[in-house]
């Protein structure tokens, strides 16, 4: 099964959306393999957003992501990366499809509630930034046979 990294951003935590967001992923059939709340340090933010260093939005992005706690998670399932991305919706909430997480809860591109890996490779990189291998739990759910053939 594929793994992806998902993070409820500070605005999602402050707006009390964590449970609703996690519930959506669970109801879809994705399995939580790791989950934690943390305050991202500047160093961690710079590692996470490293590919944007030098761009005009880099500093505001780092300031925002370090402004409050986030909830980080590793989700697992068939095509987990694309499934989670589809559920999140377009980065700009005003262009996100109705019913997606951003389409439902977001109003501004700078406060779009959630982050998710955009590819299997970036998922691996982001998971390794935020989780130690021993924090990721391997287990079988009794319901898996009702989710997957």
Least confident of 16-25, 27-36, 43-52: 43-52
97 located within any domain: yes
Annotated binding residue 112: yes
Domain that holds residue 42: 2-137
Share of the chain above pLDDT 90, in %: 91
148 located within any domain: no
Annotated binding residue 3: no
Catalytic residue among 87, 115, 116, 127: 115
Number of folded domains that form the chain: 1
144 located within any domain: no
146 located within any domain: no
Going by the DSSP 8-state scheme, the letter that residue 39 receives in this structure is -
Best CA proximity match to 6, nearest among 77, 98, 110? 77
Best CA proximity match to 27, nearest among 64, 75, 81? 75
149 located within any domain: no
Task: List the CATH number of the domain containing 16.
Answer: 3.30.70.141
Annotated binding residue 57: yes
147 located within any domain: no
| pLDDT bucket at 55, cuts 50 / 70 / 90 | confident
* Catalytic (active site) residue 115: yes
51 located within any domain: yes
First to last CA, the chain: 13
56 located within any domain: yes
């Amino acid at each position: 099964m594929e793994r992806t990294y998902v993070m409820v951003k500070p605005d999602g935590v402050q707006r009390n959306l964590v449970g609703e967001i996690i519930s959506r992923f669970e109801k879809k059939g994705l399995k939580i393999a790791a989950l934690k709340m943390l305050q991202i340090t500047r160093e961690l933010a710079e590692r996470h957003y490293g590919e944007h260093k030098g761009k005009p939005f880099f500093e505001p992005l780092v300031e925002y992501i370090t402004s409050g706690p986030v909830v980080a998670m590793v989700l697992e399932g068939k095509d987990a990366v694309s499934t989670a991305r589809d559920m999140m919706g377009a980065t700009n909430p005003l262009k996100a499809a109705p019913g997606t997480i951003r389409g439902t809860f977001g109003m501004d591109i700078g406060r779009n509630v959630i982050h998710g890996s955009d590819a299997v490779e970036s998922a691996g990189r982001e998971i390794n930034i935020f989780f130690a291998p021993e924090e990721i739990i391997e287990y079988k759910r009794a319901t898996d046979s009702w989710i997957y053939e």
